[in-house]
Amino acid sequence: MRILFLGDIVGRSGRDTVAARLPALRTTLGLDLVVVNAENASHGFGLAPDMAEALFAAGADVLTLGNHAWDRREIIPYLAQHPRLLRPLNFPPGTPGAGSVIAELRDGRRVLVLQAMGRLFMDPLDCPFRATAELLANYRLGGTVAAIVADFHAEATSEKMAYAHSFDGQVSLVVGTHTHCPSADHQILPGGTAFQSDAGMSGDYDSVIGMQKEGAAIRFWRKLPGERLAPAEGPATVCGVFVETDDATGLARRIEPLRQGGRLAQAMPSA
């Protein structure tokens, strides 16, 4: 199975570029599943329903959110109606939406996609490790599901690595989101799980993690609140990871980074 995960979309530049490039990527890479983190798509904060619809129309199979899940209030009723839009599964019971979904491919194969959120330097949610373990107890990789993709939305690299090693051999891919900087540690762990600490953002890298650099930088100089940050609007780099899994086991056979457009060094997985 061929899976593409795209990192956090930031603002109009990011979402327009992803929407423009995704159809060709699906064809060129022969993709079976596309998962996109879209929690910063709406002016850098949250996701609006019409933007979710545009990303699904462009070829995303599943969208994930994160700590900005509730920044656009109108997404709350949308979550209840659209199971392919996920918020972190370790929000407390009763929170709107779901943290996982079974995506059914055109050929009938089933893929579990989940998102959990870390707790170091983040909101004090329920334990993401226990929540993930409880969910995975209901599925068997290579059996009840052909693949399992986990988006771990977290600040600390150590927590992301600990999470990946904890579930090595149980999932196809653990990919980090949230920090908006693509890491160079893509690898297949000893148990067969593909891992990268952060997929990077899909947005303008002439910025401070996707936001206009002047306003963001002055906050560090003065330590005073200023105007609301706004997304940078220059050419975007689409960032993500490509994973190919073994059809028999669901474990990863290869993982490669993807970077297209914008300022960063380009990287395209081999077809």
Among 68, 153, 180, 186, the active-site one is 68
- Residues in Cβ contact with 170 at an 8 Å cutoff, skipping those fewer than 6 apart: 136, 141, 148, 191, 193
Strand pairing report for 100-104 and 187-188: unpaired
How confident is the model at residue 191, as a pLDDT?
A: 98
Q: Answer yes or no: is 14 within a domain.
A: yes
For residue 269, being part of any structural domain is answered with no
| Residue 224 belongs to some domain of the structure | yes
- Is 68 among the catalytic positions? yes
Alpha helices by DSSP H, listed for the chain, are: 11-28, 49-58, 75-81, 128-136, 157-166, 213-222
Is 44 inside a domain boundary? yes
The whole-angstrom separation of Cα 155 and Cα 14 is 21
pLDDT value of position 225:
73
Is 200 within the bounds of a domain? yes
Q: Cα–chain-centroid distance for residue 155?
A: 13
Give the separation between CA 84 and CA 136, rounded to whole angstroms: 18
How many separate domains does the chain show? 1
The reported pLDDT for the residue numbered 223 is 77
Q: Is residue 271 part of a domain?
A: no
- DSSP per-residue codes, 89-149: TTSPTT-SS-SEEEEEPTTS-EEEEEEEE--TTS---S-HHHHHHHHHTT--BTTTBSEEE
Q: Note the pLDDT of residue 219.
A: 87
Cα separation, 55 vs 18, whole angstroms: 8
pLDDT on residue 222: 86
Gap between the Cα atoms of 263 and 15, Å rounded:
16
Is 192 within the bounds of a domain?
Answer: yes
- Please state, in angstroms and rounded to a whole number, the distance separating the CA atoms of residues 140 and 88: 21
Q: What is the pLDDT of residue 201?
A: 98
> 227-244: string of b/e by CB count within 10 Å (b at 16+)?
eebebbbeebbbbbbbbb
User: Is 266 part of a structural domain of the chain?
Assistant: no
**Domain CATH code at residue 205:** 3.60.21.10
Token readout for 156 is 């600390």
Domain residues for the domain of 188 are 2-260
pLDDT of residue 228: 81
pLDDT mean values, one per 10 residues, the chain (271 residues): 98 97 98 98 95 97 96 94 97 96 96 98 96 98 97 98 98 98 98 98 97 91 81 97 97 98 96 80
